[in-house]
């Protein structure tokens, strides 16, 4: 879908496919998302059927099992979808320095959220909140006319992340923020600050969302990522094996290589 927006040839090809009889006049989105969106309705439907089923009906015993099965299928589909989305955007990252290639990025299995935020210079950044790392990027066009996400500054692991919900009028950055987003004496609105004191030098980013709803979504996702990351670290430290075993981040590329190889083999076999 991103390529459809960015490359006219892809858009033309998909339009021809849609006009063909084999597609039943349906566009690509109907094949990609509609099946999943219909699937998530089945648990709701079965739950309502179960409520309306008399206790003496023979289906009353089997419906709970059917509901549990459908819910497990939906959970598995969501998990696989999240993994595929995460891998897709990981591959779209363009690193300016090797030091930006944190193992937490490659070890992340899903995305909490991603979208556009502005920094205190008024620059639009596309921010990715992966499972284990927050990555700020700038959208740039590659040689083929596509879009890649150029990593901006150093990624921030969620385990060492700090979050501040900035009240309106306290965007940080002094006049830079005010000049970038407001005129006159208007207040700077919908801002938050993320910072990290990890393995590299401390860094901080003041960011502005499009509106208050978008800001609260980011804050909610960031807090969830931070809590889960620290809970995970606490479980590892309390494990009986933690004193003898430690995660070897130097091996993270092996998992990525395996995923990439499987995808390439599938592509070659389909050709």
DSSP of 138-174, one letter per residue? EEEE-TTS-EEEEE-S--EEGGGEEEEEEPTT--SST
Domain that holds residue 35: 16-88
| Stated length of the chain | 271
Domain shared by 63 and 141, yes or no: no
pLDDT at 187: 74
- DSSP per-residue letters across 38-77: HHTHHHHHHHHHHHHS-TTSTHHHHHHHHHHHHHHHHHHH
Task: Count the domains in the chain.
Answer: 2
d(CA 160, CA 134): 10
What contacts 39, CB < 8 A, 6 or more positions away? 73, 74, 77
pLDDT at 81: 86
Segments of the chain scoring below 50 in pLDDT: 174-176, 242-271
Q: What are the backbone dihedrals phi and psi of residue 96, each rounded to the nearest 5 degrees, phi first?
A: -85, -25
CATH code of 240's domain: 2.30.29.30
d(CA 196, CA 205): 9
pLDDT at 245: 40
Chosen domain end from 88, 108, 133: 88
**Domain assignment present for 159:** yes
Domain shared by 112 and 231, yes or no: yes
Domain shared by 164 and 234, yes or no: yes
- DSSP per-residue letters across 243-261: TT----GGGHHHHHHHHHH
Whole-prediction pTM value? 0.69
**Tokens representing 80?**
């696989």
**Domain assignment present for 5:** no
d(CA 112, CA 110): 7
pLDDT at 134: 97
pLDDT at 12: 80
């Amino acid at each position: 879908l991103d390529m459809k927006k960015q490359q006219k040839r892809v858009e033309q090809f998909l339009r021809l496919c849609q006009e063909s009889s084999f597609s039943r006049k349906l566009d690509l989105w109907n094949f990609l998302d509609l099946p999943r969106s219909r699937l998530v309705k089945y648990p709701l439907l079965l739950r309502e059927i179960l409520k309306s089923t008399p206790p003496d009906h023979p289906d009353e015993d089997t419906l709970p099992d059917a509901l549990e099965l459908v819910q497990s299928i939906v959970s598995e589909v969501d998990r696989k979808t999240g993994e595929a989305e995460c891998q897709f955007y990981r591959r779209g990252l363009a690193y300016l320095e090797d030091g930006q290639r944190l193992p937490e990025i490659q070890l992340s299995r899903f995305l909490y959220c991603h979208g556009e935020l502005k920094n205190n210079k008024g620059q639009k950044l596309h921010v990715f909140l992966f499972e284990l790392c927050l990555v700020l990027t700038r959208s740039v066009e590659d040689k083929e006319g596509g879009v890649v996400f150029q990593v901006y500054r150093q990624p921030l692991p969620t385990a060492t992340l700090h979050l501040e919900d900035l009240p309106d009028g306290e965007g940080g950055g002094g006049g830079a923020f005010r000049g970038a987003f407001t005129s006159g004496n208007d207040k700077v609105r919908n801002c938050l600050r993320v910072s990290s004191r990890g393995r590299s030098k401390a860094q901080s980013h003041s960011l502005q969302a499009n509106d208050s709803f978008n800001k609260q979504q980011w804050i909610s996702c960031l807090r969830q990522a931070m809590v889960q990351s620290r809970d995970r670290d606490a479980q590892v430290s309390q494990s009986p094996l933690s004193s003898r075993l430690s995660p070897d981040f130097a091996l993270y590329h092996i998992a990525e290589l395996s995923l990439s190889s499987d995808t390439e083999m599938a592509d070659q076999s389909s050709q």
